[in-house]
Amino acid sequence: MTKIMPCLWFDDRIDEAIDFYTTTFRNAKVHQVVRQAPDKPAFTAVIELEGHKFMLLNGGPQFKFNESVSFMIDCQDQAEVDYFWEKLIAGGGEESMCGWCKDKFGLSWQVTPKQIYETVLGADKAGADRAMQSMMKMRKLIVADLEKAYAGG
User: pLDDT tens digits, residue range 99-142?
Assistant: 999 999 999 999 999 999 999 999 999 999 999 999 999 999 99
User: pLDDT tens digits, residue range 62-101?
Assistant: 999 999 999 999 999 999 999 999 999 999 999 999 999 9
Rg, Å, the chain Cα set: 18
CB contact at 8 A, 45 and 58: no
Please tell me the distance from the alpha carbon of residue 21 to that of residue 42, in angstroms, as a whole number: 15
75 shares a domain with 55: no
User: pLDDT tens digits, residue range 7-64?
Assistant: 999 998 999 999 999 999 999 999 999 999 999 999 999 999 999 999 999 999 999 9
Q: pTM of whole model > 0.85?
A: yes
The domain that holds 147 is classified in CATH as 3.10.180.10
Residue 50 belongs to domain spanning? 1-61
Domain end marker among 45, 61, 77: 61
69 shares a domain with 17: no
Q: Which residues, in sequence order, are CB contacts of 69 under 8 Å at separation 6+?
A: 108
Please tell me the distance from the alpha carbon of residue 36 to that of residue 14, in angstroms, as a whole number: 13
* Number of compact structural domains in the chain: 2
30 shares a domain with 83: no
72 shares a domain with 31: no
